[in-house]
Structure 1
């Protein structure tokens, strides 16, 4: 092995090309400072697979030309090495890239996203997949973030990709989108809306409220310019109920009624599954824009199926919440002041005294 110790450039290049060079030497040459040597190692069939996988990021087409690739393509076409090499290569046809993308392997998808010949439809889907990572709470991986940043750093990235990137919450990334030469007015408006800025065109708000991903709808629900019809649309998503009630200072009565109606419908089902349903109904009982009809219902332990589902203690909490609600009519407070439960009676009496004092 003495002949392999600290050779000069020409000697290292010769070793990188020779199929007789020991694999451990090729592994060292695979991280050589000279690109020409690394490229030669990528073409050498004696190079260890682990080194070829790493070199494939830099020399994707050379890996495809390596005789070992053709051998493995025949022997084990489903191996990670073969699939990853195909995903990286600019010589791979579009149909194969689509097939590989559908396998839902994160490493394969990242490789395709970095392939300059990847079809636009796959790049759009790749960016959209990052929304799912926000949806499930896992956050984007650093590898995905690196690729997304690569998109905005590329001056040739098309406007449609930039518009997809505009939905993300990474401030550095969205700022880079704003500075991109191909940024569209739509992308700018999306970023401004996601940041909560005022004066957003209604069409953009419509687009965000109807977005397929929960994460986008969650961000936009607090926007101050949402119209009642936007809030009604968001109220169709049961996973947003708590956020709508908690993150918005005011909600129109018709939206609260819609949330209550759908919550009650779910609770009437054979297997109620709405998360935090009791807290949602309690919040509705406290909300100042809750309709008088609903406040009356809660004060009377109605609807019956809720009473059966939760029992007396929960409805005592609801009645007490109604008694504390500044929007509760006086005639309802009078009824609650005669409630069988002391907490409800006392709360209602305190509210009635407070109203008499304010009127005098």
Structure 2
């Protein structure tokens, strides 16, 4: 963590900090700064409610919490935050009682996830008009109801859950999925898993909706987060894996080396990633981009464990020909593209890259002012129009090749 972040945490905790500044710090990129804002009694209530979804414990233990007036018409609580609060073990019983009577479906879903919800609260929730078949099943399986079941909670759960899981994929109305939204069925499946009353999820068979829900889950098991990296997931899910504090360190290190800047930065900000790794990365990035870095240090950085750093080094104007000849053998097309654009690339390198399988690399060769005429002639007949367009842009392209590179009339 940087020094300025440490000072901002102290500011976020201080009782002398103005509400306007706390409002600004509530959007801070550092999770510890936002967490400190959630616990500060001078934070405006509407900001506290926004932070409650991410930091329910800090919200509930904030000294201002007992004074919050739910009857205040100006007090608008976001639905996702309220559901998280109601599911928290420290949620006050009066809140559970109130929303069990007057709450909507998502309120009830939070209440039945709370292991401290009393039998009375659960019975009130069961009588709520918003209580559907799915909520009824969760109430029956709640720890405070299960002990009184004649057939035993475990037996009941094992017999009933297959029906619920099956219904979540077929008859949505049986689990409260009125309409055609598959996402609700998947969400219910995730809730069952979160409550610990379903078998382990088969991640390869779950929907993207469930996968994202898992990686955003504050207590997501590290093993699940690690498994997700071994299957094909979209970039949005990868970013959430990189953000989750439960992601194993070896996975964070892997994500910190990712070619995507967004994923890499998300992993770098994760408080679970050792600061020494982050410091090494930023030191190498500084050296790889500084115009006066010595050749010996650049040569050392050519073997950096970060592909991002190797790409930056391949662009450096001080890099010598011997280093370019090593980098041209890289399996990373981005590094070969930088070599193809480098002003010190010689005939052998440019000739080799003229036949590169990557279009981006051939485009760079076509635009390099050092590319010899025979290579330009070869690329003027390239199958890719963008390569031929760059041939036309190169001031050293012979006239006959310039004409050949232009689109031919039909």
- For the superposition of Structure 1 and Structure 2, which TM-score range results when normalised by the shorter chain? 0.3 to 0.5
TM-score (norm 1): 0.47
Larger relative contact order, structure 1 or 2 (CA cutoff 8 Å, min sep 6)? 1
Say which structure is richer in helix: 1
TM-score normalized by the length of structure 2: 0.43
Which has the larger Rg?
A: 1
